[in-house]
Structure 1
Amino acid sequence: MDRLATIGEASKILGVSISTLRRWEKEGRLQPDEITPGGHRRYDLVKLRPELFRLQRSDRKTVAYARVSSHDQKEDLERQKQVLEMYCAAQGWTFEVVADLGSGMNYHKKGLQRLLNAILQDEVGRLVITHKDRLLRFGAELVFAICEAKEVEVVILNQGEDTSFEEDLAKDVLEIITVFSARLYGSRSRKNQKLLEGMKKVVDDAQKP
């Protein structure tokens, strides 16, 4: 199906007259997506009728998402990926694993951005994670809301406490303190460095058995 429609085709799809489309254009309500050298208007069908181009659920992929906060948790990342792979394979799903190494407070991780873009592009039919906090520390519910709007099934393998919750939370708290102290005192100030060293010691002590 050609994505670009003539003004006549667009009027039929929307159930309005051509004169109404021209009026909407003057009012700024609906602009053509392209005007040919000959002055003919073209409208993007994906914007007018997105459901015509949305992949069916069976055609959309399953994405398994794994994340840890730091490099010293790489073994945990591999365990997450193995659990996700075994689960998806056992269900008979064709799947892709997306993994991130970064704080649960960071919304700009490459894997997370790729996942969100794929969901918004209607390429994902199912999202699988081991724990809710593997997605984001705060804001996971927003992602779940987007999934619901896009008819993406969310599968959370473990609804209980994440075994690395305390360690991740400590690292996320340290990251928050780092950002705010840098803004208050400057990233290179001696006061900032002392504060961070003190907080790191507290975090390290808290993680010792």
Structure 2
Amino acid sequence: MNRLISIGELAELKAVSVDTIRRWEKDGKIESVRTDGGHRRYRLTDFVEEKLGKTIAYARVSSHDQKSDLDRQDAVLSAYCLSQGWDFEVIRDLGSGMNYRKKGLQKLINALLDGEVARLVISHKDRLLRFGSELIFAVCEHHGVEVVILNKKEDATFEEDLASDVLEIITVFSARLYGSRSSKNKKLLNNLAKSVQNL
């Protein structure tokens, strides 16, 4: 475990760029040692989880009727973290991907800003936020938090993603205008969903 690793290996381990590693060192967040040949190396022991913080797995669904999907996300994230031998906490959240005030998301952001997190694990990029997940990733990079996305595969086409985004926006605004349980709202959403699918 006293092995020395290169800047490239450390960047890969932390899922950040080599420039980020150099910035962290310049800011005094990490230390390097020099080989006899003058090459920069890092002690692997300096980057064990106990020194950096905890692993948080974040799961989210949009509504109560998706509870089974939330349970599935929780199970997949937990199984992955256990397989890696990480000590972890799962934050479960309920609410729109456009809602920045969800309790779980606020808890996650506070933990990131407090420097308590070593690693963030999510099933898909859009589980954090429908729009703006890059902001969370930027906070992670700034605090040296590794981000693990289990499913990076882009299955949906651009048009499918756009249709999904439009439906998300319509759902949020129509729920605010008419009430989430009104029959008028449900009829509107059903008609819009059919229209979008026919594009």
Shift of 1:204: 5.6
Shift of 1:124: 0.4
Report the 3-state secondary structure (helix = DSSP H, G, I; strand = E; otherwise coil) of the residue aligned with 1:75.
helix
TM-score, normalised to structure 2's length? 0.62
Count how many residue pairs are aligned between Structure 1 and Structure 2.
147
Instruction: Choose the corresponding residue for 1:119, options 106, 109, 112.
Output: 112
Report the 3-state secondary structure (helix = DSSP H, G, I; strand = E; otherwise coil) of the residue aligned with 1:65.
strand
Q: Aligned equivalents of 1:64 and 1:120: distance in 2?
A: 16
Q: Do structure 1's residue 95 and structure 2's residue 88 form an aligned pair?
A: yes
Pair 1:95–1:67, CA change in 2 (3 A): same
Matched residue, 1:79: 72
Instruction: Choose the corresponding residue for 2:141, options 125, 137, 148.
Output: 148
Pair 1:162–1:72, CA change in 2 (3 A): farther
Do the aligned partners of 2:55 and 2:121 also contact (CA within 8 Å) in 1?
yes
Paired residue type of 1:61: K
Paired residue type of 1:199: L
Matched residue, 1:28: none
Q: Aligned equivalents of 1:112 and 1:132: distance in 2?
A: 14
Paired residue type of 1:178: S
The aligned runs of 1:125-144 (5 Å cut-off) are 125-144=118-137
Do the aligned partners of 1:131 and 1:162 also contact (CA within 8 Å) in 2?
no
Shift of 1:162: 6.9
TM-score, normalised to structure 1's length? 0.60
The unaligned stretches of length 5 or more in structure 2 are 1-27, 30-47
Q: Aligned equivalents of 1:198 and 1:106: distance in 2?
A: 23
Q: Aligned equivalents of 1:117 and 1:81: distance in 2?
A: 21
Larger CA Rg, structure 1 vs 2: 1
Report the 3-state secondary structure (helix = DSSP H, G, I; strand = E; otherwise coil) of the residue aligned with 1:145.
helix
Paired residue type of 1:174: I
Shift of 1:173: 2.4
Q: Aligned equivalents of 1:107 and 1:118: distance in 2?
A: 15
Instruction: Choose the corresponding residue for 1:200, options 189, 192, 197.
Output: 189
Q: Do structure 1's residue 62 and structure 2's residue 55 form an aligned pair?
A: yes
Do the aligned partners of 2:97 and 2:130 also contact (CA within 8 Å) in 1?
yes
Q: Aligned equivalents of 2:188 and 2:126: distance in 1?
A: 23
Matched residue, 1:14: none
Q: CA RMSD in A?
A: 3.4
Q: Aligned equivalents of 1:111 and 1:57: distance in 2?
A: 22
Q: Aligned equivalents of 2:99 and 2:70: distance in 1?
A: 17
The unaligned stretches of length 5 or more in structure 1 are 1-49
Do the aligned partners of 1:69 and 1:168 also contact (CA within 8 Å) in 2?
no
Matched residue, 1:30: none
